[in-house]
């Protein structure tokens, strides 16, 4: 069993050359098992390429910790706290990575095992409650709405309703929840705004819905 695990880790990439090898090389000592590659495995003792183009690629030698750039910071947590009235344990937005004032925003929530809801939801299987995903998305919507272009105020801004909400996949500890909220309709006279929200983990939609925001009078 240990030998099999070592073999899988060593030869995890799938070798599918895009064109025939033009030079003579003896690869008879390599055995390529029929297995899927694992994105976090890194060959430490041997790297083999069946394409000379691939062997020339510098990304093959890049450590995994340097392969994926961090999300940009358009608003850090201090700026978010200046806009949103929420505080611990109910501030569910960690960073804004894209922002079009009065139009849309993309923000992230780093889901960690230290979040206060995990001990009860659930002790043996930590899953982020769907209602908190919706709340986090609404807070991102608040960042869009609480801007001079829209006329919102943190003292009179409310989450008024949701519609067509669907949860596609569970969000667990260790995930990064990426939330996009887009203003679709604004009625300044009545202080009502409609927004479309989508949340992603690893590029896949985990939650989506339509949100209704209300701005009361001063």
Catalytic positions are: 121
Close Cβ partners of 2 (under 8 Å, ≥ 6 residues apart): none
Residue 173 and residue 125: Cα distance in Å, rounded? 9
Q: What whole-number distance in Å separates Cα of residue 113 and Cα of residue 86?
A: 21
d(CA 41, CA 53): 21
In the block, tokens 């309709």 appear at 185
Token digits of residue 104: 């849309």
**Alpha carbon distance 216, 158 (integer Å):** 8
Four-CA torsion 61, 31, 53, 42, nearest 10 degrees: -20
**Contact predicate 212/162, CB 8 Å:** yes
Residue at token pair 């701005």: 215
- Strand (E) or helix (H) holding 45: none
> How far from 136 is each of 17, 27, 147, 154, 193, CA to CA, in Å?
45, 53, 18, 16, 17
């Amino acid at each position: 069993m240990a030998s099999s695990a070592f073999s899988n880790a060593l030869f995890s990439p799938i070798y599918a050359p895009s064109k025939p090898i033009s030079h003579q090389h003896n690869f008879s000592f390599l055995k390529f098992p029929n297995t899927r590659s694992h994105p976090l495995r890194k060959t430490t003792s041997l790297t083999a390429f069946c394409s000379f183009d691939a062997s020339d690629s510098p990304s093959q030698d890049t450590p995994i910790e340097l392969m994926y750039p961090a999300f940009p910071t358009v608003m850090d947590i201090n700026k978010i706290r200046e806009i949103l009235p929420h505080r611990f344990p109910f501030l569910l937005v960690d960073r804004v990575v894209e922002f079009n004032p009065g139009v849309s925003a993309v923000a992230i929530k780093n889901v960690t095992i230290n979040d206060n809801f995990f001990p009860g939801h659930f002790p043996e299987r930590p899953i982020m409650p769907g209602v908190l995903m919706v709340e986090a998305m609404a807070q991102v919507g608040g960042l869009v709405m609480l801007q001079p272009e829209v006329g919102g105020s943190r003292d009179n801004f409310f989450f008024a309703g949701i519609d067509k909400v669907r949860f596609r996949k569970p969000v667990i500890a260790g995930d990064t929840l990426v939330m996009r909220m887009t203003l679709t309709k604004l009625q300044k006279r009545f202080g009502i705004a409609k927004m479309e929200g989508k949340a992603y983990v690893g590029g896949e939609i985990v939650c989506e819905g339509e949100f209704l925001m209300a701005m009361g009078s001063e």
